[in-house]
Amino acid sequence: MCRQEPPPRRVLVVGAGIAGALTAIGILDELERLEAHTTSTRIEVDVVEEAAGPGHGASFGGASLMLFDNIHKTPLTLLSAALQGVVRPAHGSRLRHWLRFLLLGVRLTTSRLRKLAVGLPAAAPLSKADCREALSAVLARHGERLGPHVHRGALFVVRSARLWDELRRAQPGGGYELLDAAAARALEPSLALEEPLLGAALSRRDGWCDCEALLPALAALATERGASFEYGVRVERGAVLDELLPGACVRGVAGFSLRTPSGKAPPAPPPRLALAMFCRPEASGGYRVGGLMSLDPAAVESRAFNPRALAHFRRTALGAALASSEHVAWTGVRPVAAETPIARRLALRGRVWGNGAYGGNGFVWAWGASERVAREVVAALLGKEGGGDWAPGSRGGGGLQAPNDA
């Protein structure tokens, strides 16, 4: 008689931005570290992006769109192909975490109009030239109206004394301005939460852009060419994990579809969104790269879930995934969404973690939050309570409990 395979344990990471990507990767890394291949249960990690509107103010929507311009100007050396499929390392495992984030990068597809669903296969991406054309069109069409919503410059935060010395020596031909810690915090108040901070390198030649202004233009560009504009977020499983956990199934879950109706103007006014990438030195001598967002808090509050949308939400891919997931890690600018009526009424059997924080001047994604959440999720999956830190209903380690009140 065939032995029946146990049902998979499902973990859902809501939010396919920087924090969500690193949370998903952190779960896999933690399973690998604990040699979780000793369990016979298949573990599935889904990453989704729920969209209340174009762009949704997510680092997921902005990072990969802008990084092909400034990625090679960071202290890392990468192949700048974020919009054209998989990014491969230039220096091997030294860039592991950064590259694995980019493997979840935005894919701009030109497939036929269809409802975006779990497992959407990738299609031919729009080219880098298409994206540049769309950005130019946004600037030409809106001009002054965009005002502070389109920025020029990129801010790279420096914590390593060695890197700081290298930047100061290279400055004459580097094309950037060095700021001390006080000046960097004056420019970006959210850096008040960052310690240690030696300073920052500001490049005026790189682009920050408002993804809420850019994405509808890209969608319109695709529509003009007879195609839809879709995102696909794909978590790719590494060879090491394949060996350690052969039964694991890491699924690429499509994020959402943008189909801007003909003649519909982009949302106005778009919230102010500035996204910068910064480097953090690792003990191994490499760097880990993270993200810093400054988002208008009013825009965050205006995007809260509408309880009346519950019936519709249950029919969406995200709603179905939430209802069938054992544990949920909710990332991004609305970690409190785990306590909204929708999350409370869905049949969540396990725990909901929030990953993110509000600051007085907007939202800043904090270093270490993703790794902590990943560790707690894996501890719950494997029945290890992390020294009593985890318990149903507990907020230990930053978790948010979502009670069932359906």
pLDDT of residue 28: 63
Q: What range does the domain containing 320 cover?
A: 9-128+226-269+296-400
The tokens for 26 are 């952190």
Q: What is the mean pLDDT of residues 22-30?
A: 63
Q: Report the C-alpha gap between 391 and 386 in whole angstroms.
A: 10
Range with lowest mean pLDDT among 160-174, 201-215, 373-387: 201-215
3-state helix, strand, coil in the chain (%, to 5): 40, 20, 40
Q: Which two tokens stand for residue 193?
A: 């939460």
Q: Which of 24-28, 295-299, 328-332 has the lowest mean pLDDT?
A: 295-299
When pLDDT is cut at 50, 70 and 90, the band that residue 381 belongs to is: confident
Averaged pLDDT for residues 19-42 = 61
Tens digit of pLDDT for each residue in 143-160?
A: 433 333 333 445 556 666
As a whole number, mean pLDDT of residues 5-32 equals 63
pLDDT of residue 40: 57
**Pick from 18, 20, 19, 63: which is nearest to 45 by CA?**
20
What is the pLDDT, as a whole number, of residue 119? 28
Interval 247-276: pLDDT, tens:
332 222 222 222 223 333 333 322 222 222
Q: Report the pLDDT value the prediction gives residue 14, as an integer from 0 to 100.
A: 63
The predicted pLDDT at position 177 comes to: 72
| Helices then strands, each counted (H, E), the chain | 13, 15
Residues contacting 289, CB < 8 A, separation 6+: 74, 76, 97, 98, 101, 277, 278, 279, 280
The answer to whether residue 49 scores a pLDDT higher than 50 is no
- Let me know if residue 186 belongs to a domain: no
Question: Which pLDDT tens digit goes with each residue over 98-125?
Answer: 333 333 332 222 222 122 222 222 323 3
In a domain, 348, yes or no: yes
Q: What proportion of the chain, given as a percentage, has pLDDT over 90? A: 0
The pLDDT mean for the chain works out to 43
Q: How many domains does the chain have?
A: 1
Which has the higher per-residue pLDDT, 6 or 49?
6
303 within some domain: yes
User: Which pLDDT band holds residue 353 (cuts at 50, 70, 90)?
Assistant: low
Cis preceding-peptide flag for 8 (omega within 30 of 0): no
Average pLDDT over residues 32-42: 59
The answer to whether the beta carbons of residues 315 and 340 sit under 8 Å apart is no
Q: What b/e sequence results for 358-373 when a residue is b if at least 16 CB atoms lie within 10 Å of its CB, and e otherwise?
A: beebbbbbbbebbbbb
The CB density around residue 229, as the number of other CB atoms within 10 Å, is: 26
pLDDT tens per residue, range 219-253: 444 444 443 333 332 333 333 323 322 333 222 22
Residue 234: HSE in the Cβ half-sphere, 13 Å Cα cutoff: 21
DSSP class of residue 160 equals: -
Q: Residue 71 in contact with residue 82, Cβ under 8 Å?
A: yes
Strand (E) or helix (H) holding 341:
helix 341-345
Tokens of residue 325, six digits: 């997931």
Q: Residue 350: is its pLDDT beyond 60?
A: no
- Say if 198 falls within a structural domain: no
Rounded to the nearest angstrom, the gap between the alpha carbon of residue 371 and the centroid of all alpha carbons in its chain is 14
In a domain, 357, yes or no: yes
Q: Which pair of tokens denotes residue 176?
A: 């950037």
pLDDT score recorded for residue 375: 79
CA distance from start to end of the chain: 40
More confident site: 386 or 318: 318
Residue 17 pLDDT: 52
Segment holding 177, helix H or strand E: strand 177-180
Q: Considering the chain, what percentage of its residues have pLDDT values greater than 70?
A: 8
Bridging pattern class, strands 9-14 and 43-48: parallel
